[in-house]
Structure 1
Amino acid sequence: MTRRQYTVALIPGDGIGQEVVPSARACLDAVATKHHFGLEFDELDWGSARYRRDGAMMPEDGFDRLAASDAILLGAVGEPDIPDTVTLWGLLIPIRRTFHQYVNLRPMRLLPGVTSPVRGGENIDLAIVRENVEGEYSEVGGRMYRGRPEESAVQESVFTRVGVERVARYAGDLAARRRGFVTSATKSNGIVHTMPFWDEVVEQTLAAYPDVRREQILIDALAARLVLDPSRFDVIVASNLFGDILSDLTAALAGSIGIAPSGNINPERDHPSMFEPVHGSAPDIAGKGVANPVGQLWAASMMLEHLGEQEAAADLLGSVEAVMAKGVLTRDLGGDASTADVTAAVTEQIGG
């Protein structure tokens, strides 16, 4: 029988990405060996160090190289001395858009050994489906009269029917496999054009799912309800900006942004999808060996599931949970374990 083989483009990137990506690679090697498939890693030195050296976050043929992979595992992007408009817009966002990764899936639940800071947080189990390539993060706009008193800036939000429909369908399909409930984040009482359009298209799209309950909630009220009653939510579908903010909030409700994963998904599989933790490069703790690798490991589990290795994906995340239940926690979760401690414990758990 032919051994299943996958090529994974590995981009540690910046800051703690340089620490948590090796952790994920070690755990992926262990779980691949156990479940009898192969992972070939194409490790890429793309990031801020390359920008300082060559003037670009990635090479000119970067997209061609990524296109040859089955999936992309990213660590983090960003350095304090380089503007985000250079780092994120030179690597992360172009990958999302070039490969039509229009769904940003961000699941969250309370993991073993962690105490939620809010009442009811112990029952949090939801997924945010964030529109990932348009909305408020469009490139339409500009600045005029830089440095003068009349300096001005214009940023246009762009919502298309195709873009809203496809992310709403993804949310409907996901909810049908979960608890059958979709909440749509909106601000149609204050944003007069794009948000009413979002509401209309989401409602029309989800009407095709008769077994899925749906509601729309204004973003400010939704943020409050997430804190007061997080367990009531199942799938939240949101625009690019709202989904970005809400996913950080839900991670905090579940104990730490350090555990939060995400998948930049191309549902049609015409291009590779990219998986990454939500936490960013965390320069304040980079190089200290204390970074929480759980977000990266959970993202790696999502990657395996996307590749069709469901048993291995469940084994990896289950091993993370088993280790956390034993009290192997990094300091952001109230423990004293290092990145290396968690990595060693998870690989040992996988090996049985």
Structure 2
Amino acid sequence: MSAFSRFTPLIQSLPASVPFVGPEALERQHGRKIAARIGANESGFGPAPSVLLAIRQAAGDTWKYADPENHDLKQALAGHLGTSPANIAIGEGIDGLLGQIVRLVVEAGAPVVTSLGGYPTFNYHVAGHGGRLVTVPYADDREDLEGLLAAVGRENAPLVYLANPDNPMGSWWPAERVVAFAQALPETTLLVLDEAYCETAPRDALPPIESLIDKPNVIRTRTFSKAYGLAGARIGYTLSTPGTAQAFDKIRNHFGMSRIGVAAAIAALADQDYLKEVTLKIANSRQRIGRIAADSGLAPLPSATNFVAVDCGKDASYARAIVDRLMSDHGIFIRMPGVAPLNRCIRISTAPDAEMDLLAAALPEVIRSLAAT
């Protein structure tokens, strides 16, 4: 027996798993390099040239810890969003912040409400802190607001998760429905409103900052990983009341941020012209993914994100075969939702034309080969 014998019973009960298999692991498994990395919802368009310059300029100071108060980044975000720095907490991407939120709220056995097939990293953190997941099926490929609210009431849940826009389906609710959902929750239930894709969403999908900023039981999570092209830097932030934001100081890793990453995030905020260029490229790429899918007899779903969920028209095994064959035969990395009925779909991230050209050539070939088997 090679494992330490006195891990907690909870840790001993958990499987050794990760929420996602990374593209690097797939390269090792298949013994080939990925030619088109269009599965992790990163931005293949990359960060702005001004951000790359900021990274180079900050590199010489990487021997220093980052400011544990994250003062400059909070100031920049507050100026950009029109709020106070006291409303903001900074963390190692949304994934890291989700872990902290769960730790703040969830005790062993506590019910936590989310959507069946929603973001698996949230579920991973809930399980890791001993929570009990209560899942609500999607309705017409959108998270079911009424179902989530009913589950919260039935379970007296202290925590509920909603992504708007949604991952993995790319669907969204209009802002007024999201605000109404938040207002209908008990004050004793904390809403995690995951807005990772806020920069690519329609403007009317995002509640105004002031509509929720005074609610102690709402935390909005955002990131620099998507449209800003900084997934590898791991920079995320939350928006909430000052008292709720301050709770993170009790448990966070105060020296967990990368000095280079923080400099990159501040530079990215300052270059909104580049963000506009990238979001236009993302919108155009979504349209192209839709055409490529339709040309192969598949049905792209509407998306407010930097990816497109594509209905393959059959079951999960067929969707899985497309995912696997694209990787094994063509080196094209995509993903798919994990549970029925969402797993009839594949999920393709937006990317520059070179990657889209590879997809356009490979997808019809894969569809034909599967039809012949």
TM-score band w.r.t. shorter chain: under 0.3
TM-score by length of structure 2 reads 0.25
TM-score scaled to structure 1, two decimals?
Answer: 0.26
